[in-house]
Structure 1
Amino acid sequence: MASRADNIASTLSFANFSKATELKQRIWFTIGALIVFRFLSFVPLPGVNPAVLETLYDQTRGGILDMFNMFSGGSLERMSLIALGVMPYITASIVVQMAAALHPSLIAIKKEGEAGRKKLNQYTRYGTVFLCAIQGWFLASGLEAYGAQSGLQAVVNPGLIFKVVAVINLVGGTMFLLWLGEQVTSRGIGNGVSLIIMAGIVAQFPTFTANLFEGGRSGSISGVVIGLLIVMIVALILVICFFERAQRRLLIQYPKRATQRGGMQADRSHLPLKLNTAGVIPPIFASSLLLLPLTITQFAGNSIDQSTTTGQVLQSTLQYLQHGQPLYMLLYAIGIMFFAFFYTAVVFNPEDTADNLKKNGGFIPGIRPGKRTAEYLDYVLTRITVVGALYLTVVCVVPEYMIAQTGIPLFLGGTSLLIVVNVTVDTISQIQSHLLAHQYGDLIKKAKLKGRMR
């Protein structure tokens, strides 16, 4: 098996890449879509003064705003058409998926197969529009009062017309990003929404790297800290790659069948259970639930009198939920662990898997087919998900806490690296799958050609 895998891997070299026309078209389409995404992040909302907004953002830089700005690829800092990014869609996905796992009517829709999946996606889009409208309204209201204490006005002509125009543009920007992500998924390479999030993070890399080395040059960050940071990044990447590829392989045995020589042979295969079945979804979901409300609260806090009870409550909330604070990290860790188990239960159903094995005559040695197999799969999956959830929590929370305490750029945190590495590995795997399919297609064509010549 090892030699065969090595032979297949050796054939998947980039020498075959020039012959894969469809793959090249998909890659160019993906690159073009990401370029469009980056262009949109520089298009400001109508009625916003970019120069004043930049000045105000520099005054309130840090914490939640920097974290959300990183996920949006700098769109929040410039208050562009896509300032909300894809976070409303992710929040709507959380609500719909949780409802689909609990509500009887939605459970029935989910069991309808492809038709049910399309209905749930449509509900998710409706929820995205609803959340964008609400968040856009509060964001526009906060933007009007943003900088009032400093004597600066970010909005040229505040009022109802500005709020309506801002909401329409923010909703349109997010829905366009969602459509662009779907196009990348169907006509490009990789998961479109994940690639958009990764592109937003990677786009901040030059700025954060320049700030890091500028800190080293000015002396605010010592050379030893920069060296340790590089070592930590390399170690994190290695740990992420190891755990993302780790899996528990369950032996599946099938009934004996007669061979051509008259003997009996039992077929065997393996059921791979990934240690981290949920992938990057838990930290993204947990971040989306924390970042959007806190960002809106921080914008709204600028327009509320701090001497009132409401102002004091908002101020205390922002203080305790700033990035790097214990309460924020605690909620973040709880969110990651919850969504690790929740999303694993969504994507992997032990009962369905046990039924499929029973229909095909497969069984796990020592485990009775049917209900017992489902219970055993649930038992094994729960155990490895505990390890996977702890891995996600440590990788995301510990580096983020250390970085928040030392003031090192947020880009180099565990959450960012986890998303970038995971999406990159998934995209490369899809490229390899296309190359392998192209290679097998060529072999089939050659075999047919030889058969015709004979």
Structure 2
Amino acid sequence: NPLLRGIGKALDATGQDLVPAFAANAGGSFVAQTVLIIIAGTLFLMWIGDQITERGIGNGVSLIISVNIISSLPGVIVTIWNTFVIERGDNPFSPLLIVFMVVLFLFVIAAVITITQGQRRIAVQYARRVAGRREMAGGTQYLPLKVNYAGVMPVIFATAILQLPTQLLGQMTDASWVRTMGELLSPNDIWFYLLSGFMIFFFSFFWVATMFQPSEVAENLKRGGGYIPGVRPGKATSDFLDYTMTRLTFAGALFLTLIFMMPFFIGLALDLGANSLVTSFFGGTSLLILVGVLLDMMRQIETHLLQRQYDGFLRKGKIKGRQQRQISGQQATSASVLYLWVVLAMIIIVAVVALFINQ
């Protein structure tokens, strides 16, 4: 909400002496002007986003956010160079740390893409049937169930809810319990990430329970003459879909929690600070939004190319192969998924060990 955020930022600026003296003494007029400017800027960016969505490719607002995230990448590179080459140049392990960060960055991106695109394809068989005067041939189709069905929304909800008490406590008195609560809910404390992980799990299951209705899907399959092999139509199909989606949601929520906590542990392990700009590219909301937006834009570009029938490009390019793999219904092997989780577990173990060593 730009109105509430504008009021909060204006009060923080006046309370922490972040503005000139004339603005601090202006009182309510400065707060009103600040709120008006923030609301006007937000509406202007929303209008630009709508124009991009209507006249371009992809979601305009998401693209603006992604460009803002990508624009900080040069600053991250400069920070890494200054930290590990100039300030810590006498450390013999600095080159290895830089190589480790590059490899970890590529692996995290690959893992986020894998989980974002990951699906459990449930085979649905259709018997031969007659519709009107036409005889419909039977066959096998696939019902895709996404691993990360909720996307980045649980992370956004969790961080937004935890930021509200912090802003409210910042406007209260300097009592000891207020300072203690503010420290516990700050992004530099482990309790913030533990509470965020709990809320990510809650909102993941809440989102799936709200948006995915297994009984409705089972009823639609029954009406269309489809059935899942080995499962009876009706309530048994609904229970099977609910059980399968629950397991997928648990895996997706666990992955979101690990990605959200990874910048904190990397910052402690490399002594970069838990809220550093460098660590934000190794997980968190920014990376999830960036990967999701770029994947969505690639799908839309691919759809436009297919609609305009670029035959020569489709024959020789990689788009045709990717479409064929999606249509064929091939699933990721259990070994690939196992390797992914093993590497994630190793990264977490190394981060925890480094944390204890630094302490």
TM-score bucket of the superposed structures, by smaller chain: 0.7 to 0.9
Aligned match of 1:426? 296
Q: Quick check: 2:8–2:167 contact (8 Å CA) kept in 1?
A: no
Q: Render the CA deviation track for 1:98-133: whole Å, top value 9, x for unaligned.
A: xxxxxxxxxxxxxxxxxxxxxxxxxxxxxxxxxx32
Q: 1:195 to 1:439 in 2, by over 3 A?
A: same
Q: 1:236 to 1:437 in 2, by over 3 A?
A: same
User: Is residue 363 of structure 1 aligned with residue 227 of structure 2?
Assistant: yes
Q: 1:374 to 1:432 in 2, by over 3 A?
A: same
Residue correspondence of structure 1 range 86-101 to structure 2 within 5 A = 88=1
User: Is residue 205 of structure 1 aligned with residue 73 of structure 2?
Assistant: yes
Matched residue of 2:128: which SS?
strand
Residue correspondence of structure 1 range 255-270 to structure 2 within 5 A = 255-257=127-129, 265-270=137-142
User: Is residue 395 of structure 1 aligned with residue 259 of structure 2?
Assistant: yes
1:271 shift after superposition: 0.3
TM-score by length of 2: 0.74
Q: Quick check: 2:154–2:200 contact (8 Å CA) kept in 1?
A: yes
From 145, 162, 165, the counterpart of 2:30:
162
Identity score, percent: 35
Name the CA distance, whole Å, in 2 between partners of 1:341 and 1:355.
22
Name the CA distance, whole Å, in 2 between partners of 1:325 and 1:362.
51
1:364 shift after superposition: 1.4
Name the CA distance, whole Å, in 2 between partners of 1:246 and 1:352.
23
Name the CA distance, whole Å, in 2 between partners of 1:344 and 1:185.
27
From 279, 282, 286, the counterpart of 1:410:
279
Aligned match of 1:282? 154
What is the RMSD of the two structures over their aligned residues, measured on CA atoms? Answer: 2.9
User: Is residue 231 of structure 1 aligned with residue 103 of structure 2?
Assistant: yes
Q: Quick check: 1:324–1:401 contact (8 Å CA) kept in 2?
A: no
Name the CA distance, whole Å, in 2 between partners of 1:185 and 1:339.
28
- Structure 2 regions of 5+ residues with no counterpart? 313-359
Matched residue of 1:439: which SS?
coil
Residue-pair matches, total: 298
TM-score by length of 1: 0.59
The letter for the 1-side match of 2:53 is T
Q: Quick check: 2:108–2:283 contact (8 Å CA) kept in 1?
A: yes
Name the CA distance, whole Å, in 2 between partners of 1:235 and 1:426.
20
Q: 1:197 to 1:346 in 2, by over 3 A?
A: farther
Name the CA distance, whole Å, in 2 between partners of 1:264 and 1:345.
34
User: Is residue 377 of structure 1 aligned with residue 247 of structure 2?
Assistant: no
Name the CA distance, whole Å, in 2 between partners of 1:331 and 1:277.
21
Q: Render the CA deviation track for 1:331-351: whole Å, top value 9, x for unaligned.
A: 121122222222223332212
Matched residue of 1:189: which SS?
coil
1:330 shift after superposition: 0.5
Q: Quick check: 1:255–1:267 contact (8 Å CA) kept in 2?
A: yes
Q: Render the CA deviation track for 1:351-401: whole Å, top value 9, x for unaligned.
A: 222222222222212323233222221111111111111111112213433
Aligned match of 2:214? 350
1:413 shift after superposition: 2.8
Name the CA distance, whole Å, in 2 between partners of 1:345 and 1:181.
30
Name the CA distance, whole Å, in 2 between partners of 1:276 and 1:431.
23
Residue correspondence of structure 1 range 325-344 to structure 2 within 5 A = 325-344=189-208
